[in-house]
């Protein structure tokens, strides 16, 4: 799911960085035989207000603080010069577009996608970075997973990495890489499944049919309604509009590493989701795709922090078609 990448054909690097509202983190992945291993990891918290992810306007409000934290994190994992960059979901809009027929030329398809997303864009399409990848093939047409972001917002994050001494050849959204982490692990879901990802200042929810995203939505921490309400609405949409035949799995990510005060205790969140969905809820564990070295303690908050990083680093091994 190389959604916002500025270099679409770039091979996945061995290092990943996440810049989120509440923390900066990085991880290094090595191959030891056939096993992927997280060989180094570091993270630092960010003070409130230093970085406020948003679709429009400046995201980084205390650049010196965020840059210093990122520089220290990169130093602790060996100063990688080339990284994949994970950014907050809310800096972009994710949508699914369907076309009955496709134009023969890629250039014409680019223009068609941009024309469609232009209708609902909150800023001029000329200022947008639009990326898309094929989604599930439908009997009545072709579907694409599309991401729309302001170019200057994406460049804000890329420039931060550059000033810390690292080139971001891949830029992608947090929840899409949590999905990649799930799909890269042993026992990845094959039926319909739901992911709830809690991050700094927002929660995203995705429905998937195997490896294909069929629904994606996020809500800010200040949005009216509860997480359980959002999950319930999504479940109703799944049953009524997506011909849902039942969820094979429900997964929760990010709760242990979410902002203090944003979320309830993990067990309470899980119970609330289980009551609404009538399905057991499991937490995402990145160790299903990449093991940790003995010196890394696998606390729940650390596993949540590592998940999108591992997902980006294993993106070439997920078999993701969307």
pLDDT mean over 101-130: 94
pLDDT confidence band for 29 (50 / 70 / 90)? very high
15 vs 277: which has the higher pLDDT: 15
CB 191 within 8 A of CB 222: no
CATH for the 187-285 domain, from 3.30.1330.30, 3.40.50.300, 3.30.420.40, 3.40.190.10: 3.30.420.40
pLDDT mean over 74-103: 95
**pTM greater than the 0.85 cutoff:** yes
Residue 247: closest CA among 197, 205, 210: 210
296 vs 243: which has the higher pLDDT: 243
Q: How many helices (H) and strands (E) does the chain have?
A: 7, 14
Residue 139: per-residue pLDDT: 72
Residue 94: closest CA among 216, 205, 234: 216
Kindly report the average pLDDT of the chain as a whole number. 88
pLDDT at 9 over 90: no
Residue 1: per-residue pLDDT: 45
Residue 226: per-residue pLDDT: 76
Question: Over the stretch 116-171, which tens digit does the pLDDT of each residue have?
Answer: 999 999 999 999 999 998 888 777 789 999 999 999 999 999 999 999 999 999 99
309 to each of 132, 183, 219, 226, 228, how far by Cα in Å?
21, 14, 22, 27, 27
Q: Please report, for the chain, the start and end positions of each structural domain, with discontinuous segments joined by +.
A: 187-285
Question: Over the stretch 228-273, which tens digit does the pLDDT of each residue have?
Answer: 788 888 989 999 999 888 899 999 999 887 654 444 567 777 888 8
User: Which of 62-66, 202-206, 221-225 has the weakest average pLDDT?
Assistant: 221-225
pLDDT confidence band for 321 (50 / 70 / 90)? very low
| Chain length of the chain | 322
Question: Over the stretch 208-232, which tens digit does the pLDDT of each residue have?
Answer: 999 999 999 988 877 777 777 888 8
């Amino acid at each position: 799911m190389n959604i916002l990448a500025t270099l679409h054909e770039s091979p996945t690097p061995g290092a990943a960085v996440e810049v989120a509202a509440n923390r900066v983190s990085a991880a290094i992945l090595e191959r030891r035989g056939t096993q992927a291993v997280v060989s180094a990891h570091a993270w630092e918290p960010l003070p409130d207000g230093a970085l406020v992810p948003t679709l429009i306007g400046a995201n980084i409000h205390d650049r010196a603080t965020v840059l210093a934290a990122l520089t220290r994190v990169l130093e602790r994992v060996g100063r990688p010069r080339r990284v994949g960059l994970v950014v907050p979901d809310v800096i972009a809009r994710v949508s699914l577009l369907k076309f009955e027929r496709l134009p023969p030329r890629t250039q014409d398809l680019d223009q068609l996608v941009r024309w469609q997303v232009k209708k609902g864009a909150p800023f001029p399409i000329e200022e947008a970075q639009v990326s898309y990848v094929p989604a599930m093939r439908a009997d009545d047409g072709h579907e694409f997973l599309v991401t729309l972001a302001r170019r200057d917002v994406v460049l804000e994050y890329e420039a931060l990495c550059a000033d810390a001494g690292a080139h971001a050849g891949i830029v992608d959204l947090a929840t899409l890489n949590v999905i990649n982490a799930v799909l890269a692990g042993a026992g990845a879901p094959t039926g319909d499944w739901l992911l709830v990802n809690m991050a700094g200042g927002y929660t995203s929810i995705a429905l998937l049919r195997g490896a294909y995203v069929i629904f994606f939505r996020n809500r800010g921490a200040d949005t009216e309604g509860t997480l359980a309400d959002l999950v319930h609405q999504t479940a109703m949409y799944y049953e009524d509009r997506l011909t849902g035949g039942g969820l094979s799995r429900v997964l929760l990510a990010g709760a242990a590493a979410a902002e203090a005060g944003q979320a309830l205790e993990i067990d309470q969140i899980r119970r609330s989701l289980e009551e609404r969905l009538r399905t057991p809820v499991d937490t995402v564990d990145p160790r299903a795709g990449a093991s940790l070295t003995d010196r890394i303690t696998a606390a729940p908050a650390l596993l949540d922090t590592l998940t999108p990083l591992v997902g980006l680093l294993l993106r070439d091994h997920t078999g993701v078609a969307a």
